[in-house]
Amino acid sequence: MKTDDFYYNLPQELIAQTPIEPRHHSRLLDLNRKTGEILHRHFYDIEQLLVPGDLLVLNQTKVIPARIHAHKMSGGRIEILLLRKMDSLTWECLIGGKRMGVGKEFVVENGPEGLVVEEILAAKKKIRFEQPIESFLGIAGEMPLPPYIHERLERQDRYQTVFAKTSGSAAAPTAGLHFTEELLNNLSDKGLNFAQVTLHVGLDTFAPVTEDDPEQHHIHKEWCELTEETADLIRKTRAAGKRVIAVGTTSVRTLETAARAASADRIVESFQGDTDLYILPGFTFKVVDAMITNFHLPRSTLLMLVSAFAGKQTIDQAYQAAIAEKYRFFSFGDAMFIHMD
């Protein structure tokens, strides 16, 4: 297995720059991972593909306006992208700007002063603010869109799921962006059940794997939580012979992390903490029966994850079909529903 096995050529015009309105009118590639059959639908058709008693697992993380502008005390502008909160004052971040080594001081525009306290890798640093930065983000922060999106986002809430609740992400769990309140209500009326997990997404999620051998790649850690209430819903769903459906790769990683310490009869255990779960082809899924997901970047760990779930050849064929049909790719793009029945 080589990293280049997960490369595909994507025409630039298929990278979605703006979200579809309304959300649930995006397209949906319906993929049967058992037969390889592909059907082309719209996302609102998901109502026809789910049955009463199925459990949809949603990542309730909320994107923070994590991109902030600042000035070095010694002069010069810098841009800071908050990635991960370490404690009340300390954050892991990316800094754009020259000579920002340990000990460098800065002041956030419309915000507090700060200090670089540790260098991690290249532009990735650990910084400490004089005051908690969260109270300043409303005026000092901007929504951190991925680098492949070049259009200005007119409405900041369009890079937020309608069920976002717990602040902490530097990027949206994009599979959830297709749901509207109307669609969620329709699914609830139909007898679908919902469970919430939390995984705070870091921008490393979008980073390509640079090692020739993907097994040599160091997976990013992300904080996640699966409560006992959600664990109980999963057990009841399985006992009733219904499906656990992960909305997004972030939900997949959380669910399968919670399964690592569980006995077969328990399926999952409640979990809170960092996950380093790296899912490659050959991985045995213990919880996830079906998955809703977007189309992922070439050579990314997320493309490897969906290839592990559906089979690499099946995913290759699905992606080529999506390109031929001019689906929209990546964060503001269209979706896939991967299932077996």
User: Domain map of the chain by residue range?
Assistant: 3-63+155-339, 67-142
- Phi-psi region at 75: left, alpha or beta (left = phi > 0; alpha = psi -120 to 50): left
For the chain, what percent of residues have pLDDT higher than 90?
A: 89
pLDDT digits (tens, 9 = 90+) for 225-266: 999 999 999 999 999 999 999 999 999 999 999 999 899 899
Buried b (16+ CB within 10 A) or exposed e, 328-341: bbbbbbbbbbbbee
Amino acid identity at 147: P
pLDDT digits (tens, 9 = 90+) for 63-120: 999 999 999 998 899 999 998 899 999 999 999 888 899 999 999 999 999 999 999 8
Task: Answer yes or no: are the C-beta atoms of 278 and 217 closer than 8 Å.
Answer: yes
pTM for the full predicted model: 0.93
DSSP letter at 331 equals: T
The pLDDT, as a whole number, for residue 219 is 86
Residue given tokens 């490369």 in the structure block: 7
pLDDT digits (tens, 9 = 90+) for 113-165: 999 999 987 778 999 999 999 999 999 999 889 889 999 888 989 999 999 99
Task: Kindly tell me if the per-residue pLDDT of 290 is higher than 80.
Answer: yes
Would you report the helix, strand and coil content of the chain in percent, each value rounded to 5? Answer: 30, 30, 40
Residue 230: closest CA among 49, 47, 59: 59
Q: Which two tokens stand for residue 16?
A: 């979605």
Give SS3 for 144: coil
Residue given tokens 């209430």 in the structure block: 229
- CA 119: distance to chain centroid? 25
pLDDT digits (tens, 9 = 90+) for 164-205: 999 999 999 999 999 999 999 999 999 999 999 999 998 766
Average pLDDT of the chain is: 95
pLDDT digits (tens, 9 = 90+) for 14-45: 999 999 999 999 999 999 999 999 999 999 99
- Continuous segment of H or E residues that includes residue 121: strand 113-121
What whole-number distance in Å separates Cα of residue 94 and Cα of residue 281? 30
Could you tell me the fold of the domain covering 3-63+155-339?
Answer: QueA-like (3.40.1780)
Could you tell me the fold of the domain covering 67-142?
Answer: Thrombin, subunit H (2.40.10)
Beta strands, E only, the chain: 27-32, 38-42, 55-59, 61-63, 67-72, 77-85, 90-96, 105-108, 113-121, 124-129, 141-142, 166-169, 193-199, 222-226, 244-247, 271-275, 290-294, 335-339
